[in-house]
Amino acid sequence: RIQQSYSVAGSVSALPAAVVSLPSAALPGQSAELTALFECPVCFDYVLPPILQCQAGHLVCNQCRQKLSCCPTCRGPLTPSIRNLAMEKVASTLPFPCKYASAGCLLSLHHSEKPEHEEVCEFRPYTCPCPGASCKWQGSLEAVMPHLMHAHKSITTLQGEDIVFLATDINLPGAVDWVMMQSCFGHHFMLVLEKQEKYEGHQQFFAVVLLIGTRKQAENFAYRLELNGNRRRLTWEATPRSIHDGVAAAIMNSDCLVFDTSIAHLFADNGNLGINVTISMC
Ligand SMILES: [Zn+2]
Ligand SMILES: [Zn+2]
Ligand SMILES: [Zn+2]
Ligand SMILES: [Zn+2]
């Protein structure tokens, strides 16, 4: 499965800069054979630097190594650790296919750039977009909505491009999430209001809209969040985030509607806060 995904080697010059060019002496076929030498015999992922071997010279990846008491190939001892610098040098000259090659990613990268790319790879499985990270579900984009309807039945959905997201009991202590879905333009959007202490002793509210879709699809939309009332108005407008990017990064960067508890009280009515949400196409 891994060799076949490496068929791009013959045309490296036409690929993005992230692709490592081959050592001039190596032919594409040879390079694929070399890459195969780095396959972990346990998980079939690549054994990448730092590369450690058993006393007989067999390789196993560092993740698997931590779970093993002996070499999976020869049953010999894995300790003391023996580093294989020659294999590390070879690894540094080879492009390795992205972890999600079997899902369709065509990129091959230097091993040092692989983890960063795989974090943002479009072919990475989607995780459950619900905030709080208690749900460990993963799957394809098409499976996200069915998952939400089955596993998170309490989330309500409103139809239309212009709705009111009503967060009740905003005075509840501690970290709290309010979530609802909005359907319009043939897409599903997830509205999230989160109350948390990003800075100790300073409670804040963060509101953001996510598209159940890719980053590219998200670029076709804009959303507006508005707190309104008591002769005041607070507005935030932005591009929805893809659920591939998630809520946590938006909150971390304050790339969302942010307000503190005093502002929440200015707009709240009996402990309930209504946020006007408008989604438009652009
Ligand atoms: Zn492994
Ligand atoms: Zn061994
Ligand atoms: Zn990828
Ligand atoms: Zn879930």
156-174: per-residue pLDDT in tens? 999 999 999 999 999 998 8
The whole-angstrom separation of Cα 155 and Cα 170 is 17
* pLDDT for position 4: 38
Q: Yes or no: say if 279 and 189 are a contact pair by the CB < 8 Å rule.
A: yes
Ligand nearest to the CA of 136: 4
Query: pLDDT grade, residue 192 (50/70/90)?
Result: very high
Compute, in angstroms, the gap from residue 18 CA to the centroid of ligand 1: 25
* pLDDT for position 27: 52
Compute, in angstroms, the gap from residue 105 CA to the centroid of ligand 3: 5
Helix (H) or strand (E) holding 144: helix 144-151
The predicted-structure confidence for 132-153, as pLDDT tens digits, reads as follows: 768 999 999 999 999 999 999 9
* pLDDT for position 275: 98
Range of weakest confidence among 31-40, 148-157, 238-247? 31-40
Provide the sign of the torsion angle of the four alpha carbons 61, 64, 66, 68, taken in this order: negative
Q: What is the pTM of this model?
A: 0.73
Compute, in angstroms, the gap from residue 17 CA to the centroid of ligand 2: 37
Decide: helix, strand or coil at residue 85: helix
Compute, in angstroms, the gap from residue 62 CA to the centroid of ligand 1: 7
Compute, in angstroms, the gap from residue 2 CA to the centroid of ligand 3: 13
Select the more confidently predicted residue: 239 or 122.
Answer: 239
Q: Is the per-residue pLDDT at 50 higher than 60?
A: yes
| For the chain, percent of residues with pLDDT exceeding 70 | 89
Compute, in angstroms, the gap from residue 22 CA to the centroid of ligand 1: 25
Q: Which among 200, 211, 203 is positioned nearest to 250, based on CA atoms?
A: 211
Q: Say how many C-beta atoms besides its own lie within 10 A of residue 225's C-beta.
A: 21
Compute, in angstroms, the gap from residue 63 CA to the centroid of ligand 1: 6
The whole-angstrom separation of Cα 50 and Cα 79 is 15
